[in-house]
Amino acid sequence: MSTEAKHLHDWSATQYLKFKDERTQPARDLLSRVPLQAPKRVVDLGCGPGNSTAVLESRYPNAELKGIDSSPDMIQKARSTLPHLEFTVEDLNTYSPSSPVDLFYSNAVFQWLGKERRIEVIKRLMGTQPSGGAFALQVPDNLDEPSHALMRETAQSGPWATTLETVGRETFQSPQDIYDQLKPLCSEVNIFHTSYYHSLENHEAIIEWVKGTGLRPYLDPLQPQEKTGFLGDYLKRLKEAYPSSVDGRVLLRYPRLFVVAIKN
Ligand SMILES: C[S@@+](CC[C@H](N)C(=O)[O-])C[C@H]1O[C@@H](n2cnc3c(N)ncnc32)[C@H](O)[C@@H]1O
């Protein structure tokens, strides 16, 4: 892929940050379950624009804190927001820390790795941690929600169906699978689940939300006119699936899965 094409398909920090408060709440909830009191080294894996890194900094102001992300746009935004911290462009599939890390923390990232790579990456990184080190991650568990089911339905039923034939995110590993794979390395594997109900301004806001994340792989391959057609069709389906609330807003249910593992 050319640099220009890569850039076109890069994440957009601006689009992502449109729902910063809602996206950052799970980062806080994840961190509240990490039992480490004073980790020396902390790495935010897939730090995005630095919103999750700021949450880490407020709990661990004395830690050596770094963020890594594969998106140059995200890293640029993180550097400009938190210029005193170190941020580098790195791919999690190949990333390896230069010195042992007490806490690996990752909010809303591992669902983007290939299914077969996710546990492998966690195990490889945990293998570099000292005993008592923690690995904490949160991933959306929303593929069966109307917001995502209707994305797939729209993709399958328009003139873009062939172009989008192979697009789609793979389901995440089940809690049982995660537990069974990580427990041999860990003294504790804590898994929990929370459903958030975000009150959004209207149905169009659901599209704005997913445009920053899950809708990207569907829109990226389409021509401008197809994009407009896709979005119109998707919006119609969303309006049928999500009722308007008493105040005219729309409630977006958003289930998320959390894992906090402590190394043996
Ligand atoms: C939904 S954002 C999460 C950002 C932030 N952690 C937060 O809590 O809001 C997902 C991030 O994962 C990054 N990402 C996706 N695949 C990655 C990979 N293979 N290596 C590193 N970062 C990756 C994306 O660039 C994006 O910034």
Report CA(105)–ligand 1 centroid distance (Å): 12
Superfamily of domain 3-263: Vaccinia Virus protein VP39 (3.40.50.150)
Q: Is the pLDDT of residue 25 over 80?
A: yes
What angle in degrees, to the nearest 10, is found between the helix axes of 146-156 and 203-211? 80
Report CA(206)–ligand 1 centroid distance (Å): 20
Q: If you average pLDDT over every residue of the chain, what do you get? A: 94
Q: What is the pLDDT of residue 9?
A: 62
Q: Is the pLDDT of residue 4 over 50?
A: no
Q: Is the pLDDT of residue 2 over 80?
A: no
Q: pLDDT tens digit string along 234-264? A: 999 999 999 999 999 999 999 999 999 999 9
The DSSP output letter for 101 is -
Q: Is the pLDDT of residue 6 over 60?
A: no
pLDDT band for position 18 (cuts 50, 70, 90)? confident
Give the start-to-end residue ranges of the domains of the chain: 3-263
Taking a C-beta distance cutoff of 8 angstroms, is the pair 39, 64 a contact? no
**Residue from 69, 93, 122, 172 to probe ligand 1 pocket by mutation (most atoms less than 8 Å from CB):** 69
| Residues in contact with ligand 1 (CB, 6 Å cut-off) | 11, 23, 27, 46-48, 51-52, 69-71, 74, 91-93, 107-109, 112-113, 213
